[in-house]
């Protein structure tokens, strides 16, 4: 009998424990919090955890540490004054979300920085986080060096994983036009730390519209010294539209394995001081960067102003399947200083291929280099560069003093070594030249030289079907014709190019069309169809 009593007691005790466990589990498995901010109807004394209990100001967020799966939602159709400070650690399964709520027919929530704000929004020491569908403005009463719209910062943290910026509008950032003073930007990405080296892994910036930001659109600040190199990895910058930005477009610094694709930069105002240099999309102190399927036009920086660039201390950069037109500078710059070797590996193994340039190199005024604007500029001790299978159509220049060089390879504390120019189509509407200065080991193989030249390189395998080639290029003399025939744009938007350039197949078709139109040399046709 006693044995049965003890068995019954054990059973009841087990049931009680299970019941308590279930109760505790139900208490700890509550859904992640969703916080709401409404500057019109909210109140900072509220809980912030429902639309009816929304906070009023961005100040309530400054001390908020977001946890996996939590959301911070800003009301659509209204303006938020101040600075949005975000700090949180999500997970791959439960990322943190910063977004909007309310009637989707209304405008995005607009964050307007204070008069002295260096940023209107900041993401600090966070990971597994998504920020989307917001508008950010940071104008102030006067320009401020280093002012930005959105600052993404990782400091003494370690590796910040998987931050995604999607569909933001960032506009009217009033920074400095002078790079040495700190410039300014739409988005500023910073990774640093003395106690703990820090970087980003899988940062994605896509589908954003960056408008009227001084000086730059997106720029990084990271470990650029090769003696202390700790790169951010697997960065993707995709499908962004950059307009009316006078300086640099997209500049990763201290990064590895960056992909920059399907971005448009256009209508750059001519407002930079005469000593300023800038270009479209280019890496600095980076490895394994790919820049592809982009479109840059109307860049008007006083110095450089190329659409694309492989710059200082970069290795294994690929610039391919891009389109450029009507820039003050040419299609591309490849450069590196020959002096600063203690913290640089130099520029090595750059590839510029399958790109289309129409009507670039139209710099109309004197700068430090005069009206210098070659279609391709190679400067300094760059090594093992390949320029291949590009179409460069140099239209007639608008002024007699504008540089008409097709290729210039010149000095920056040294000269280029081992540069190969292969199977390109060069067309010069006016007398042009190839100026290789003191660069060495230049190889030209199987290129077309159409139009008029005052000098040509030694190219034993150059195409000789001048008559057929001239017929092809006569159909593409004007940018509009080339756009239509080559299928450069996927669609039209109110008479102007769409924000997203075309697919790989369309760009390949544009290249192949020019080569195939009059049955040009088979080798080039095969290259274009790979």
* 104-157: pLDDT as tens digits: 999 999 999 999 999 999 999 999 999 999 999 999 999 999 999 999 999 999
3-class secondary-structure state, position 466: helix
Looking up tokens 């669609």 gives 491
Burial letters 186-213, b for 16+ CB under 10 A, else e: bbbbbbbbeeebbbbbbbbbbbbbbbbb
CA dihedral 279, 285, 286, 291 (to 10 degrees): 10
- pLDDT for residue 338: 85
Task: Establish how many alpha carbons lie within 13 A of residue 134's alpha carbon, considering only the half-sphere containing its beta carbon.
Answer: 24
* Token pair listed for 479: 């940018």
Average pLDDT, the chain: 86
Q: Cα angle at 447 between 443 and 450, to 5 degrees?
A: 130
Q: 78-119, pLDDT tens digit by residue?
A: 999 999 999 999 999 999 999 999 999 999 999 999 999 999
Q: How does strand 492-493 pair with strand 496-497?
A: antiparallel
* Contact present, 55 and 90 (Cβ < 8 Å): no
Secondary structure of 197-221 as H, E, C letters? CCEEECCEEECCEEEEEECEEEEEE
Instruction: Give the phi and the psi of residue 227 in degrees, each rounded to 5.
Output: -75, -15
**Range 445-450 contact pairs with CB under 8 angstroms and sequence separation of 24 or more:** 445/420, 445/421, 446/422, 446/521, 446/523, 446/524, 447/421, 447/422, 447/423, 448/424, 448/520, 448/524, 450/425, 450/426
User: Residue 515: pLDDT band by 50, 70, 90 thresholds?
Assistant: very low
* Contact present, 7 and 15 (Cβ < 8 Å): no
pTM higher than the cut 0.75:
yes
């Amino acid at each position: 009998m006693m044995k049965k009593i003890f068995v019954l007691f054990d059973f009841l005790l087990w049931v009680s424990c299970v019941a308590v466990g279930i109760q505790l589990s139900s208490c700890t498995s509550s859904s992640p919090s969703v916080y709401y901010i409404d500057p019109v109807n909210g109140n900072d004394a509220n809980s912030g955890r429902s639309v009816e209990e929304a906070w009023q100001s961005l100040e309530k967020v400054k001390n908020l540490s977001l946890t996996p799966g939590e959301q911070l939602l800003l009301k659509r159709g209204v303006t938020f004054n101040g600075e949005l400070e975000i700090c949180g650690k999500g997970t791959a399964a439960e990322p943190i979300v910063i977004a909007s709520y309310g009637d989707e027919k209304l405008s995005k929530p607009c964050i307007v920085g204070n008069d002295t704000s260096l940023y209107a929004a900041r993401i600090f020491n966070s990971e597994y986080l998504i920020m989307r569908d917001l508008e950010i403005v940071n104008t102030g009463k006067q320009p401020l060096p280093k002012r930005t719209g959105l600052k993404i910062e990782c400091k003494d943290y370690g590796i910040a994983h998987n931050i995604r910026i999607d569909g933001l509008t960032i506009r009217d950032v009033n920074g400095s036009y002078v790079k040495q003073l700190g410039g300014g930007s739409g988005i500023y990405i910073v990774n640093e730390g003395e106690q703990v080296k820090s970087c980003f892994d899988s940062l994605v910036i896509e589908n954003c519209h960056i408008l009227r930001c001084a000086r730059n659109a997106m720029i990084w600040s990271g470990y650029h010294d090769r003696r202390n190199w700790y790169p951010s990895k697997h960065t993707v910058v995709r499908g962004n539209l950059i307009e009316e930005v006078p300086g640099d477009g997209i500049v990763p610094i201290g990064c590895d394995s960056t992909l920059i694709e399907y971005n448009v930069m256009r209508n750059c105002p001519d407002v930079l001081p005469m000593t300023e240099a800038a270009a479209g999309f280019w890496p600095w102190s980076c490895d394994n960067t790919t820049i592809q399927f982009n479109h840059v036009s109307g860049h008007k920086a006083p110095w450089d102003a190329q659409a694309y660039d492989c710059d200082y201390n970069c290795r294994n950069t690929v610039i391919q399947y891009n389109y450029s037109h009507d820039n003050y500078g040419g299609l591309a710059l490849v450069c590196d200083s020959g002096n600063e070797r203690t913290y640089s590996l130099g520029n090595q193994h750059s590839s510029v291929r399958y790109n289309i340039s129409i009507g670039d190199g139209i710099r109309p005024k004197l700068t430090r280099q005069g009206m210098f604007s070659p279609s391709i500029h190679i400067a300094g001790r760059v090594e093992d560069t390949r320029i291949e299978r590009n179409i460069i159509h140099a239209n007639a220049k608008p002024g007699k003093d504008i540089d008409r060089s097709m290729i210039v390879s010149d000095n920056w504390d040294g000269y280029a070594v081992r540069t190969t120019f292969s199977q390109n189509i060069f067309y010069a509407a006016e007398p042009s030249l190839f100026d290789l200065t003191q660069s060495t080991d230049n190889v030209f193989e199987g290129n077309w030289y159409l139009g008029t030249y005052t000098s040509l390189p030694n190219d034993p395998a150059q195409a000789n079907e001048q008559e057929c080639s001239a017929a092809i290029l006569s159909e593409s003399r004007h940018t509009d014709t080339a756009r239509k025939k080559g299928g450069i744009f996927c669609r039209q938007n109110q008479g102007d190019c769409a924000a997203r350039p075309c697919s790989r197949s369309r760009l390949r078709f544009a290249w192949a069309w020019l080569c195939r139109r009059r049955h040009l040399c088979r080798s080039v046709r095969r290259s274009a169809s790979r």
